[in-house]
Amino acid sequence: MKFAVYSYRDDETEYFKKFCKKYGCEPVMCREAPSPENAALAKGCRCISTVTAPVGGVTLKALRENGVEFVSTRSIGFDHIDVKAAEKLGIHIGNVTYAPGSVADYTVMMILMATRKIKAISQRAAAQDYSLRGVMGKLLSDMTVGVAGTGKIGGTIVKRLSGFDCSLLAYDLYQNDEVKKYAEYVPLDRLLAESDVITMHMPATDENRGFINKESIAKMKDGVFIVNTARGSLINTSDFADAVESGKIGGAALDVIENESGIFYKNKKCDILKNRGLSVLKAFPNVIVTPHTAFYTDRSVSDMVEHSVLSCMLYEQGKENPWQVI
């Protein structure tokens, strides 16, 4: 099978070599994100593999004109692809799965870093300020953690957190019997009202956009900690920043932010960033921002590449494809 690989990174090299050899595939490699200008690279390929760069309607049209029928994204989320345009063009979309422990472990780390004020401690220590004023943390076993979204990743986080002896509340449209062993499923308003820490693991749907906003924040405890390792669009950055400034939000750890595309995964140290929200978030001493790296382990990258290769193969062969979402 011949297929085109876009947004190809150096760290994926060994895995593409390994799995293309294993499954007998012929990849056409491109470091750039798919665009109308490079769509011709996919000519002769029914499938392409890409990652989190935006794929809009114009690009999809160009890909379709070059024979592409299936777009596999090497990520769980596929909100960066214009789904409506793909459907109109007759292009199918697939995502991938990877070890949920990668994001789960990172999330637990972020919860601990936020509640123990690691950002302020680290910044002060770097300036040789070793005083204790203002950096007293909280004990996780004294707190209630609310997990919004209990799919594979959220469910794994619940299990991880159970070892810290904290009270656990969960919310999801579809309840999970395994999660019930460790957490109590409650209505969303109760989770918002009773949680000292809220961590989100929901998909970036239109319904979930701005899940953290002025109205939902008003329902939360004063001093609540917010953790987001899912999707940046779950938080309304302006409302969130207002709540940090007022003290309503006591701290946060964010691995994703609104409008991160084109910034994260690039060296921008000499650039003026066209994302005022990011600049504001980074300025807060109690808000940790990391560049969408919760997934980033050797195991996850291997899974993402293998599943994308397999997904393209299954589509090419007309077989049942567990990763095809549209």
Q: Is 160 a catalytic residue?
A: no
What is the pLDDT averaged over residues 216-236?
Answer: 98
Among candidate residues 60, 49, 52, the one with its CA nearest the CA of residue 23:
49
Can you tell me the distance from the alpha carbon of 125 to that of 127, in angstroms, rounded to the nearest whole number? Answer: 5
Summarize the confidence of residues 209-219 as an average pLDDT: 98
Q: Choosing from 74, 92, 231, 307, which is the catalytic residue?
A: 231
> H or E segment at 154?
helix 152-161
Q: Give pLDDT, residue 152.
A: 96
The CA–CA distances, whole Å, from 199 to 143, 167, 176, 236 equal 13, 14, 17, 15
Distance CA 151, CA 154 (A): 5
Per-residue pLDDT, averaged over 3-13, amounts to: 96
Per-residue pLDDT band for 60 (boundaries 50, 70, 90) equals very high
Cβ-based neighbours of 318, under 8 Å, separated by 6 or more: none
Q: Do 144 and 196 meet the contact criterion of CB atoms below 8 Å apart?
A: yes
How high is the pLDDT of residue 32?
A: 96
231 is a catalytic site residue: yes
DSSP lists the bridge partners of residue 212 as: 235
User: For 12-38, what is the mean pLDDT?
Assistant: 97
Domains and CATH numbers, the chain: 2-98+298-317 (3.40.50.720), 101-289 (3.40.50.720)
To the query of whether residue 258 is one of the catalytic residues in this protein, the response is no
Full DSSP string of 45-97:
-SEEEE-SS-B-HHHHHHHHHTT--EEEESSS--TTB-HHHHHHHT-EEE---
> What are the Cα distances from residue 251, in Å, to 103, 108, 115, 117, 187?
20, 15, 7, 8, 24
Element (H, E) at 134: none
Choosing from 64, 74, 124, 292, the catalytic residue is: 292
Please report, rounded to a whole number, the percentage of residues in the chain having pLDDT higher than 70.
100
Q: Which of 233, 186, 231, 193 is nearest to 209 (CA)?
A: 233
What 8-state DSSP symbol labels residue 252?
E
- In this structure, the number of other CB atoms found within 10 A of the CB of residue 46 comes to 17
Its pTM stands at 0.94
| Helix-strand-coil split of the chain, %, nearest 5 | 40, 15, 45
Question: Given the structure tokens 């950096």, which residue do they identify?
Answer: 135
Q: Which of 168, 175, 62, 23 minimizes the C-alpha distance to 15?
A: 23
Q: What is the pLDDT of residue 300?
A: 97
Quote the distance between the C-alpha of residue 153 and its chain's center. Answer: 11
Spatial distance between the Cα atoms of 297 and 272, rounded to a whole number of angstroms: 30
Model pLDDT, residue 72: 98
Summarised one tens digit per residue, pLDDT across range 29-56 is: 999 999 999 999 999 999 999 998 899 9
Specify the residue for token string 């395994």: 178
Would you state the pLDDT for residue 270?
Answer: 95
Separation of CA 110 from chain center: 14
pLDDT band at 326 (very low <50, low <70, confident <90, very high): very high
Query: Residue 216: what are its φ and ψ, rounded to 5°?
Result: -70, -35
Q: Answer for the pair 269, 234: CB distance below 8 angstroms, yes or no.
A: no
pLDDT at 200: 98
Question: What confidence category does residue 254 fall into, taking pLDDT thresholds of 50, 70 and 90?
Answer: very high
Choose the catalytic residue: 258, 260, 306, 316.
Answer: 260
Backbone angles phi, psi at 23, to 5 degrees: -105, 5
pLDDT of residue 149: 98
Tokens 């906003």 correspond to: 213
Give residue 202's pLDDT. Answer: 95
Do residues 189 and 216 lie in contact, with contact meaning Cβ atoms separated by under 8 Å? no
Under the banding of pLDDT at 50, 70 and 90, the label for residue 58 is very high
* 97, 103 contact by CB (below 8 A): no
How confident is the prediction for the chain on average, in pLDDT?
A: 97
Q: What is the pLDDT of residues 137-158, one digit of tens each?
A: 999 999 999 999 999 999 999 9
